[in-house]
Structure 1
Amino acid sequence: MPTARIASGHTTPGQGWQAYGANGIYIDVNTTSARFTGTPVYVTSITGPGGNQWGLVGPSAVYSSTATSFRVYVQWKDGSPLTPATAQQYGWHINWIGYDNP
């Protein structure tokens, strides 16, 4: 009988962010190192030394989750333009914890 697996990780600060429309960005998070056997439940947060993540919406919403990856979309809560360059400037990265109970 398979046992539950809990693993965690984070993306590289400021790297991997892509534009999503005019006002948002997203990042694909690779969780291969966790060696999940099923699709886990992921819990996320965003952080970075440059700050300003308090003004974002979306960092805790997980999309397209699989055993090896998921995606997170973020935008400013006031709807103003957000670019990957901003995420790089602030050194934002996604922290994640995954729980797989096959």
Structure 2
Amino acid sequence: MPTARIAAGRTPAGQGWQPYGPNGIYLDVDTSDARFSGSPVYVTSIGSTGGTQWGLVGPSAVYDATGTKFRVYVQWKDGRPLAPAHAQQYGWYINWIGYDNP
């Protein structure tokens, strides 16, 4: 019988962000190294090497989660345009913890 598994990780700072319309960006987070066997529950936060992440909404919402990946979308809370270059400039990254209880 499979046992519960907990794993955690962090994406590379500023890398992998993609545009989502004129005011948002998203990041696909690879969790395959965790070797989850089921559909884990993920908890996320956003970090930065250059600040400013306090002005974002969305980084704790997880989309399209599987045992090997999930996606997060972010935008400025005031609706200003946001592009992947901002994530690169500020070194944004996603911290994650996954709990899998197959």
The TM-score range, normalised by the shorter chain, is over 0.9
Structure 1, residues 46-88: CA drift from partner, whole Å, max 9, x if none?
Answer: 0011100000000000000000000000000000000000000
User: Aligned partner of 1:27: which letter?
Assistant: L
After TM superposition, give the deviation of residue 4 of structure 1 in Å.
0.2
Runs of 4+ in 1 over 4 A off after TM superposition: none
Counterpart of 1:54 in 2: which secondary structure?
helix
Partner of 1:99: 99
Partner of 1:31: 31
Matches within 5 A, 1:62-101: 62-101=62-101
Counterpart of 1:61 in 2: which secondary structure?
coil
User: Aligned partner of 1:41: which letter?
Assistant: V
Identity within the alignment, %: 76
TM-score by length of structure 1 reads 0.99
Query: RMSD of aligned C-alpha atoms?
Result: 0.4
User: Aligned partner of 1:19: which letter?
Assistant: P
Partner of 2:18: 18
After TM superposition, give the deviation of residue 5 of structure 1 in Å.
0.1
TM-score by length of structure 2 reads 0.99
User: Aligned partner of 1:66: which letter?
Assistant: T
